[in-house]
Amino acid sequence: MDSQPKEYEKLTVQYGEETEIKLCKRLNEEIVRRGVIDVLRNGFKDRGCSFSMVYFQPNSGLNLEPRELCLKNRRSLIRQLKYSLKNENSIDMALFLNGIPLLTIELKNQL
């Protein structure tokens, strides 16, 4: 977590080597319970550590820290995303923000 190293380090003290797995599990639980949009907007907490899942563009350029954090957002567009280990099924396109899937697209050709 390069945007929140202090919070991640505090969690590592509590979870040890399982930090990444437990943090991903907690994130998934929060998304299932509250929804993707709410988790993106408000972040989530785990064992007293607060995590932001997205940094929005600041209204002003006066403070450089929010701008730098916004630049750390990772946007990904993946074509032919395979989602099954049992077969070759795939989604034509998927859009991710900081590892969280936001949108899937099935492209069709009328010809």
**What is the per-residue pLDDT across 16-47, written as a single tens digit (0 to 9) for each?**
999 999 999 999 999 999 999 999 999 999 99
Angstrom distance (rounded) from CA 69 to CA 2:
10
Q: pTM, whole model, 2 decimals?
A: 0.81
Which residues are CB-neighbours of 39 under 8 A, at least 6 positions away? 27, 30, 31, 53, 100
Which helix (H) or strand (E) segment holds residue 7: the answer is: helix 5-15
List the chain domain ranges.
Answer: 5-71, 75-105
Angstrom distance (rounded) from CA 94 to CA 79:
7
Question: 54-88 pLDDT, tens per residue?
Answer: 999 888 878 888 889 999 999 999 999 998 889 98
Angstrom distance (rounded) from CA 53 to CA 20:
15
